[in-house]
Amino acid sequence: MTKTALVTGASAGIGEETARKLQSLGYTVYGAARRTDRLQKLAGEGIRPLAMDVTDDASMTAGIETIIAETGRIDVLVNNAGYGSYGAIEDVPIDEARRQFEVNMFGLGRLVQLVLPQMRARKSGTIVNVSSMGGKLHTPLGGWYHATKFAVEGFSDALRMEVAPFGINVVVIEPGGIRTEWAGIAADHLEETARGSAYAPQITAVAKTMRSEAIAKRQSPPSVIADAIGKAVTARRPRTRYAIGFTAKPLITTRRLLSDRAFDRVIGTAMGLPRN
């Protein structure tokens, strides 16, 4: 029987490339996004478009029910939907902070709850949670975003232990700098917080770094993440984490080795922050 995969956030970037990769590996792939019009390119390639809003429980429940009704199973869940909302912790409206948790963490968690019963019944399955190197380290003005990704990391570790007796694998993907819309969207959110902010000098510096053409040229293509996910879901015993893409491994290692304040200085310099 052909295996089935669900990829959220499939309308662009990592999700789009991952949907293609899993299809090339023989999976029946459902690509989910809020707007199905952005999934038409994938639909033309044989990937099944699915309208899903990861902040809407009814939408997620209906999506999972549709897949089960049509294929009888979900073998792989790739929780890729997410975004980066940057700004000083003091400046970001608490409703925006909550929304980021709803998209990046709670939507992910709810989909896990929805797919687990049938995975347990078959005693097999793989759950791939797309975190970030930002789930292992910090940058200025990314406090709420980092909080969501640190949460994904801890959630995934606990989940891995809980579902192991049922033959289910849990994998965390930690992308570094990837050539997608993410940086531009994050910079847009950041600049919206600048007017009248006490943190305006930091905001200007960080937004400039996010939009740097020199950095953009060195970023990795989304396909490197898709390839890692492909390896993870086809491995008999996948690694628990894959740090992939521009600067991911070096920065995570640097964070592990340096003291908090030493790492602060390294990141501050890299982001062009004004010196104290």
Active site residue: 27, 30, 145, 242, which one?
A: 145
3-state class of 130 per DSSP? Answer: strand
Cα–Cα distance measured from residue 29 to residue 161, given in angstroms and rounded to the nearest whole number: 27
Cα–Cα distance measured from residue 53 to residue 112, given in angstroms and rounded to the nearest whole number: 15
Whether 197 is a known active-site residue: answer no
Whether 156 is a known active-site residue: answer no
Cα–Cα distance measured from residue 77 to residue 115, given in angstroms and rounded to the nearest whole number: 8
3-state class of 115 per DSSP? Answer: helix
CB 30 within 8 A of CB 70: no
All structural domains of the chain: 4-270 (3.40.50.720)
Nearest to 20 by CA among 85, 12, 118, 201: 12
Whether 85 is a known active-site residue: answer no
CB atoms within 10 A of CB 158: 10
Active site residue: 136, 149, 220, 242, which one?
A: 149
pLDDT tens by residue, the chain, 276 residues: 799 999 999 999 999 999 999 999 999 999 999 989 999 999 999 999 999 999 999 999 999 999 999 999 999 999 999 998 899 999 999 999 999 999 999 999 999 999 999 999 999 999 999 999 999 999 999 999 999 999 999 999 999 999 999 999 999 999 999 998 878 888 888 888 888 999 999 999 999 999 888 888 899 999 999 999 999 999 999 999 999 999 999 999 999 999 999 999 999 999 999 876
Q: What is the pTM of this model?
A: 0.95
Q: Is 1 exposed, middle or buried (0-12, 13-18, 19+ CB in 10 A)?
A: exposed
